[in-house]
């Protein structure tokens, strides 16, 4: 009768493939800055590669949606649109975006830089009309990255 067994050799497993780095983000992560503990919503068809970079940078939660219609109220401390389709799209999406953003949240928009400045001026005007402040735009190669903050007007802390 066999009372114990002995292993004669170690099981052979194929080595695990090394982790693949995220593709470059075109400088967008530099403009986004610190994301440690942020609840981020990415909008648009381009986003999975950026999601990877945001999670590695310390974002608490990253959600990727194709359209702004399904955003929950007060769910995001940061909204990022990696490729802004048009200023008209932004005009129709801003009410939903504002509703989804927490007080003091940031929005970051990346659009194709064009020869005329009308697109950049219209984006700035739309953000200002919806109550955003600290609006700044930086040109990064062929991209125009615009960031703004949603101020927390009228909020009181209860004891």
Structural domains in the chain?
38-149 (3.40.50.150)
List the pLDDT tens digit at each of the 159 positions of the chain: 555 445 445 555 555 545 444 445 556 888 888 898 899 999 987 778 888 889 989 999 999 988 888 888 888 999 999 999 888 899 999 999 999 999 999 999 998 877 556 678 899 999 999 999 999 998 888 888 999 999 886 544 444
Q: What are the structure tokens assigned to 114, written together?
A: 């064009």
**CA atoms of 46 and 65, how far apart (whole Å):** 10
**Structure confidence at residue 20 (pLDDT):** 47
**Structure confidence at residue 25 (pLDDT):** 58
Instruction: Tell me how many helices (H) and strands (E) the chain has.
Output: 4, 6
**Structure confidence at residue 95 (pLDDT):** 92
**CA atoms of 65 and 93, how far apart (whole Å):** 13
The model's pTM is 0.78
Yes or no: say if 40 and 59 are a contact pair by the CB < 8 Å rule.
Answer: yes
Look up tokens 């490729």; give the residue: 83
**Structure confidence at residue 76 (pLDDT):** 93
131 in the Ramachandran plot: left (φ > 0), alpha (ψ -120 to 50) or beta?
left
**CA atoms of 151 and 41, how far apart (whole Å):** 18
């Amino acid at each position: 009768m066999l009372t114990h067994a002995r292993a004669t050799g170690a099981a052979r497993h194929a080595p695990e493939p090394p982790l693949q780095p995220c593709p470059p983000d075109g400088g967008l992560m530099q403009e986004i800055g610190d994301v440690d503990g942020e609840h981020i919503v990415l909008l648009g068809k381009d986003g999975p590669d950026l999601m990877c970079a945001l999670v590695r940078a310390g974002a608490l939660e990253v959600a990727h949606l194709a359209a702004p219609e399904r955003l929950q109220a007060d769910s995001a401390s940061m909204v990022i649109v990696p490729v802004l389709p048009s200023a008209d799209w932004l005009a129709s999406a801003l009410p939903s975006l504002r509703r989804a953003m927490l007080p003091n949240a940031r929005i970051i928009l990346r659009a194709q830089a064009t020869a005329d400045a009308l697109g950049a001026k219209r984006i700035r005007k739309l953000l200002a009309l919806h109550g955003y402040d600290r609006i700044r735009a930086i040109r990064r190669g062929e991209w125009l990255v615009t960031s703004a903050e949603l101020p927390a007007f009228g909020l009181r802390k209860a004891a």
